[in-house]
Amino acid sequence: MENLLLMMAPLFSSKLLIVLFFGTLFGLILGVLPGLGPTTGGALILPFTMTLDPLSAIVLLTSIYCAGTYGGAITAILINTPGTPAAAATCLDGYPLAQKGEAGRALGMATVSSTVGGIFSVIILVFFAPLLAKLAYEFGQPEYFALAIFGLTMLASIGEGSPIKNLIAGAFGILISTIGKDFMTSIDRFTYGINELSEGIGFIPVVVGLFAISEMLTQSTTLDQVFKRVALKAVKLPSLSDYKLTWKTILRSSGIGSFIGVLPAEGGTVASLIGYSEAKRFSKNPEEFGKGSIEGIAGAEAANNAATGGAMVPTLALGIPGSATTAVILTGLIIHGVRPGPDLFREQPEFLYGIFGAMLIANILFFIFGFFGAKIFARITLVPNKILWPMIFAVSVCGTYSLSQSIIDVWIMLLFGVIGFFMRRYGFSVVPVIIGLILGELVEGTLRQSLVIFDGNWLMFLSRPIVVTFFILSFIALIFPLLKKKK
């Protein structure tokens, strides 16, 4: 009861309501614009959050996350281009249905199923995050090391693309985290006499480079692409027969999305694909999938929004990001001096339940904005890339510079933009780099502290049951893609 009251706190704070309003609006705009999205948008907005108190800052980032994930569906349905990768499965049926003159119906179903999926996942978050945090009380350094390894292997196996390439990208991310002074001995590593590198490479230059700048380079290669937007009169609430047809799909996909979200991987994208394929498997009319099935839209959209709450579970309970966007949120927490993990649940419940409540409200807000404003948001896609991207560049440069007022950070951002472009071109996902960078210090720190505890005996890792469990799970995660391929 007390926690429920804490969750309601954002409703009674005009400041938080304003933050939620703008966060949702901004998230929707980011979600609608192909190439941008909640991860890049969150990274761009991080410097601005420094002017806010910690709760408002995280509320802003989470509302961008929830609304941005939904916003991708608008573009997927109206121009057959997913606004965010998580909306890729929505294109399959959303656009064909829109072409049949039922864009309003398609968007209505996407809006309702996204909202249900999002709210479902917040309920999962409220119940499971404290349980996971309680479990994490038992964790020592070796357990955290094994958990971080498990997170990285899961990311490699469940994430998009080749698992081996994902592992290379994850290792690259961890390697970046080793640049600068060694945090235990203060010995310089990979600094090459450059003073600015002694502090290490910041998260913002890397994330803005890998997402925003590499996307700018990608956009420079696709300028001949012409978007054809399907006309939209108004968003229609689903009819009773649509509800009857889809309620089971929405609930199933909400469960799938929440579960996939909890696993440390690129939650939304994978969740929507699984949600979509499961909707097809259980459907009485599977032949309609790909031709404008309303069940297909519901399956994909409920799952990708359900992954948002799921991905927040390990982020808040363990400090292990469940996706690229939650890695940005985790950075937001850290730069505001909030250390996620079990202690946060004990020491600052009002902070945590405030976030849960804000996510709940954000899901309701994007329903309202989406329902009444989809037509306006759809117009944003008409802003030509040749005007939009130079503007995004200006914001990226100033945002990156603002954090430590260092021009080197801007150059690092550009360098990672080029690296990110070529990584994506040759099938290396950039998400593991971000997660690796975030987890790098945890992996190395816990490994070294564990070895101190074990007096240098590596075999002692195997004497801890939780560590062994995580190692076995990591092994399964690594061989899972091979087994799947053989099948």
Footprint of another protein (CB under 8 A): 47-48, 50-51, 162, 164-165, 167-168, 171-172, 174-175, 178, 182, 184-185, 187-190, 216-217, 220-221, 223, 384-387, 389-391, 393-395, 397-399, 401-402, 405, 407, 410-411, 414, 417-418, 425-427, 444, 447-452, 456
> Minimum Å distance from CB 187 to another protein?
5
Cα–Cα distance between 91 and 141 in angstroms, integer?
Answer: 44
Cβ closest to another protein, residue 218 vs residue 277: 218
> Minimum Å distance from CB 165 to another protein?
6
> Minimum Å distance from CB 119 to another protein?
33
Cβ closest to another protein, residue 224 vs residue 287: 224
> Minimum Å distance from CB 264 to another protein?
19
Cβ closest to another protein, residue 61 vs residue 355: 61
Cβ closest to another protein, residue 325 vs residue 396: 396
Cβ closest to another protein, residue 165 vs residue 291: 165
Cβ closest to another protein, residue 76 vs residue 149: 149
Cβ closest to another protein, residue 103 vs residue 447: 447
> Minimum Å distance from CB 244 to another protein?
42
Q: Reduce the secondary structure of the chain to three states and give it as a string.
A: CHHHHHHHHHHHCHHHHHHHHHHHHHHHHHHHCCCCCHHHHHHHHHHHHCCCCHHHHHHHHHHHHHHHHHHHHHHHHHHCCCCCHHHHHHHHHHHHHHHHHHHHHHHHHHHHHHHHHHHHHHHHHHHHHHHHHHHHCCCCHHHHHHHHHHHHHHHHHHCCCCHHHHHHHHHHHHHHHCCEECCCCCCEECCCCCHHHHHCCCHHHHHHHHHHHHHHHHHHCCCCCCCCCCCCCCCCCCCHHHHHHHHHHHHHHHHHHHHHHHCCCCHHHHHHHHHHHHHHHHCCCHHHCCCCCHHHHHHHHHHHHHHHHHHHHHHHHHCCCCCHHHHHHHHHHHHCCCCCCHHHHHHCHHHHHHHHHHHHHHHHHHHHHHHHHHHHHHHHCCCCHHHHHHHHHHHHHHHHHHHHCCHHHHHHHHHHHHHHHHHHHCCCCCHHHHHHHHHHHHHHHHHHHHHHHCCCCHHHHHHCHHHHHHHHHHHHHHHHHHHHHHC
Cβ closest to another protein, residue 341 vs residue 436: 436
> Minimum Å distance from CB 25 to another protein?
17
> Minimum Å distance from CB 176 to another protein?
10
In sequence order, the 6+-apart residues with CB closer than 8 A to the CB of 387 are none
> Minimum Å distance from CB 398 to another protein?
5
Cβ closest to another protein, residue 123 vs residue 451: 451
> Minimum Å distance from CB 295 to another protein?
31
